[in-house]
Structure 1
Amino acid sequence: MLKRGLSVLAALACLSVAACSHVPAAPPVAEAAPQGPRLILISIDGFRADYLKEGITPNLQALADGGASAAMRPSFPSLTFPNHYTLVTGLRPDHHGVVNNTMRDPQKPGVTFKLSNKEAVADEFWWDDARPLWVTAQAQGVKVATLFWPGSEAVNHGVRPAYWLPYDEAMPDEARVKQVLDWIDLPAADRPGAITLYYSQVDHQGHDFGPGSPQVDAARREVDTSIGQLVNGLKARGLYGKTNIIIVADHGMAKHRPETFVRLADILPEDSYDLVTGGQVAGLYAKPGHEAEVDQALITNKPAHMQCWHKAKIPARFQYGHHRRVPEITCLADVGGYIIGPSTDNWMPKPEGGSHGYDPSAPEMQALFIANGPAIRPGVKLAPFDNVDVYSLETKLLGIKGEQNDGKLGPLKPALY
């Protein structure tokens, strides 16, 4: 009896142990591959294309070497809000309606859109001539998180990004990266498929101290360190090399040439015109009864260090001048120059600083472009292209159908597998 009992126990043990050769072991359960966002879109405001070649941003360089890079032409005018909106719509400013950092609209009299007017920045009215990437993606089932991106604080066609924060310039870089990684760590059902990230310090230091300054170099190193922290966060989650990353700038930066600054007060009586915005590209209207006087001073006489046109005569290569928000006269400063407004405006650009907004074909205006990820071939150097083309790459990587736009995927196809 004891012998029989031991035999039964041995047989039961054999059934439960894979070492018994005649009982096949159960196959191991495969772990699900980690799933991160399909796209992380990063903007480094004011990062000139040739900054990458100077050897002080190793993390950006590694992403470029392992992917594709190029110098990218901004759209006219080469300013922050117009070009950020171009990068997520594929439309020229003349078509998406954000025609300047400062603008007016005859359909909204008495209001001036500008960076400091938070109410206007968050008003759908100024943005809804176009559907940005997050509106289109979310209509096709791809959640989007924005930290930060011009236009993302406003409802657009009834839609906001699934996750967004109002712009906070003081938010430390480490906190920005942590927020992105926190979004990536959300449960699969809540996790965004696309995330934007924005850095401003390279642009700020460029305005204050000019390209080539120690302050700009320090800002570039700071951003590069932050990019490295993001890459390390992706590696720790098994997502590096499995997530497509696009890094762009909205424009470059040119060193000021104070000898080319233009004072409108030296050219025109201050009661003869209404200035919407000055700077690298100025927009104004002649006041009633002063049209001939303003035309003579700005267009016929051709003042030194700037060019001025009626909106219908802006050179075709700028693809600008048809939108109702473009003022009647547009003046463009020489690269490094500045158009200073009425004498009542005491603000002056810093002579040692820098600016953008100039002719997009100027080498100083060329912007950074890097793409890296599973869809991108390594070691690709693309020919310079227009920033309207980036939108087609974004929609391709997200697997969505984009809106009608002014760009094309063709210039970026050599970067794709």
Structure 2
Amino acid sequence: MLILLRFLLLALLVPGVAVAAGRAPVTILVSIDGFRADYLARGLTPTLSALARSGASAAMRPSFPSKTYPNHYTLVTGLRPDRNGIVGNKMEDAARPGETFTMEKSEDAFWWQEAEPIWTAAEKAGIRTATMFWPGSNVENGGVRPHDWWAYDKAIPEAQRVDAVLDWLRRPAATRPRFVTLYFDTVDTAGHHHGPVSPEVDAALRAVDGQIARLRHGLAELHQPANLVIVADHGMAATSPDRVVLLKTIADPADMHVVDAGPVATIDPLPAHEAALASALLRPLPHATCYRKADLPARLRYGHNPRVAPFVCLADMGWLLLEKLPADGVDLGSHGYDNAAPEMQALFVAAGPAFRHGVRLAPFDNVDVYALLRDLLRLPAKAGIDGSDAAFARALAR
């Protein structure tokens, strides 16, 4: 709340931030999926590096599991996956027997109702929003959805995504959004297919940096002040076909139903097979550790939501827990591991009229981003969330 009051005072004392161009600042939340925090040091992203120098930057801890959908929803709700309801990229719910939530089947509003995202809070407060791809933004939440939204389509080029955002901001003030999201996926895709240390990831970094440059140029042409908050959902670790544990080698398939697999595997016992499955999983295993969900390490803040399967197995860094070897080969990069691991740390860069220059922040949890967004949108602090804006006290202009 103190940061919010200071931000409001700044707006009153320095009206030229918005008045000089005749436009109020817009907040743009940008996700570069799979952008590991240390990618910024590769020297391949001059635009992002310039934004870091002109604003604030940090290595940001994702929430567990360090997967795409859980962390994207954490960023916009301020609640960890165990509380926001999106507990995995694949999950099941007893209220929907026989159904499985996947990233490809995520357009049912049922799955998204355990938490209120920032665009819903903003719309309720009379702040117009627009989302260029963000998990959960293409369904109604509490009967509300963004004023403008595009359903995710991987085939839409990144340049077209930037152009759509700029088109929204060309509108007259009455219909112009004040909060916008933008999503890029190519860094994550390259990391999965080729590994985090690969020419393909380097090329993807250069390309997405070029799109951020295009966004900045377009904003300048529009004389549109903007607070850019650029994040990633997780990092990326190197994996290999030589580091795979097949789940059938550690437990009898007749005892289990595998909900999700990979760096973290979530497993249901089949009826009357819980004791047998527990005996198989809850013993020393090669390259993995399995837990009853109630016994997961407390620091993971995970396992209380009914959507979390009864058994959760964590692979050692760089290892994969799979039901079978994929027909198209094992990915050379993955994520989902312990969220404290260096390989899982995510990008955070924020710059614009609300931010001081050249502030390097201590690592923080990604649940804090939601509180920052509320400050930027001048929404009152929200009680009961998992994060706070305290991490940004040094970064916001006073």
RMSD: 1.4
Residues 120-142 of structure 1 show CA distances to partners (whole Å, capped at 9, x for unaligned) of x1111100100000000011111
Write the mapping of 1:259-338 to structure 2, written as runs, cut at 5 A: 259-299=242-282, 301-338=283-320
**Alpha-carbon spacing, 1:71–1:32, altered in 2? closer, same or farther (3 Å):** closer
**Alpha-carbon spacing, 1:90–1:191, altered in 2? closer, same or farther (3 Å):** same
Q: Which runs of 5 or more structure 2 residues have no equivalent in the other structure?
A: 1-18
Could you tell me which residue of structure 1 aligns to residue 378 of structure 2? 399
Please state how far the C-alpha of 1:39 moved relative to its aligned partner: 0.2
Could you tell me which residue of structure 2 aligns to residue 415 of structure 1? 395
Contact persistence 2:91–2:307 (CA under 8 A): yes
Please state how far the C-alpha of 1:32 moved relative to its aligned partner: 6.7
Please state how far the C-alpha of 1:402 moved relative to its aligned partner: 4.6
Residue identity matched to 1:51: Y
Contact persistence 2:61–2:339 (CA under 8 A): yes
Distance 1:358 1:303 in 2: 17
State the secondary structure of the residue aligned to 1:155.
coil
Could you tell me which residue of structure 2 aligns to residue 77 of structure 1? 65
Could you tell me which residue of structure 1 aligns to residue 7 of structure 2? none
**Percent of pairs with identical residues:** 51
Distance 1:124 1:402 in 2: 26
1:193 equivalent among 157, 162, 178 = 178
Please state how far the C-alpha of 1:274 moved relative to its aligned partner: 0.8
Contact persistence 1:297–1:303 (CA under 8 A): no
Could you tell me which residue of structure 1 aligns to residue 37 of structure 2? 49
2:229 equivalent among 236, 246, 254 = 246
2:110 equivalent among 119, 125, 133 = 125
Residue 143 of structure 2 corresponds to residue 158 of structure 1: yes
Larger displacement relative to structure 2 (253-262 or 151-160): 253-262
State the secondary structure of the residue aligned to 2:214.
helix
Please state how far the C-alpha of 1:175 moved relative to its aligned partner: 0.9
1:144 equivalent among 86, 105, 129 = 129
What is the TM-score of this pair, normalised by structure 2?
0.92
Residue 164 of structure 2 corresponds to residue 179 of structure 1: yes
Contact persistence 1:36–1:184 (CA under 8 A): no
Could you tell me which residue of structure 1 aligns to residue 84 of structure 2? 96
Contact persistence 2:240–2:330 (CA under 8 A): no
2:368 equivalent among 375, 383, 389 = 389
Please state how far the C-alpha of 1:260 moved relative to its aligned partner: 3.2
Distance 2:205 2:163 in 1: 19
1:372 equivalent among 351, 354, 378 = 351
Residues 73-132 of structure 1 show CA distances to partners (whole Å, capped at 9, x for unaligned) of 000000000000000000000000000000000011111000122xxx111110010000
Contact persistence 2:48–2:209 (CA under 8 A): yes
Distance 1:257 1:166 in 2: 33
Could you tell me which residue of structure 2 aligns to residue 227 of structure 1? 212
Contact persistence 1:153–1:166 (CA under 8 A): yes
Could you tell me which residue of structure 2 aligns to residue 207 of structure 1? 192
Please state how far the C-alpha of 1:294 moved relative to its aligned partner: 1.2
State the secondary structure of the residue aligned to 2:291.
strand
Residue identity matched to 1:103: M
Contact persistence 2:37–2:345 (CA under 8 A): yes
Distance 2:271 2:163 in 1: 54
Could you tell me which residue of structure 2 aligns to residue 23 of structure 1? none
Report which of the two structures shows the higher radius of gyration computed on alpha carbons.
Answer: 1
Residue identity matched to 2:391: P
Distance 2:74 2:146 in 1: 17
Could you tell me which residue of structure 2 aligns to residue 38 of structure 1? 26
Residue identity matched to 1:264: L
Distance 1:318 1:347 in 2: 32
Residue identity matched to 2:295: K
Contact persistence 2:252–2:277 (CA under 8 A): no
Residue identity matched to 1:408: S
Contact persistence 1:360–1:366 (CA under 8 A): yes
Distance 2:30 2:329 in 1: 28
State the secondary structure of the residue aligned to 1:98.
coil
Please state how far the C-alpha of 1:347 moved relative to its aligned partner: 4.5
Contact persistence 1:37–1:192 (CA under 8 A): no
Contact persistence 2:287–2:319 (CA under 8 A): yes
Could you tell me which residue of structure 2 aligns to residue 28 of structure 1? none
Could you tell me which residue of structure 2 aligns to residue 61 of structure 1? 49
Contact persistence 1:103–1:113 (CA under 8 A): yes
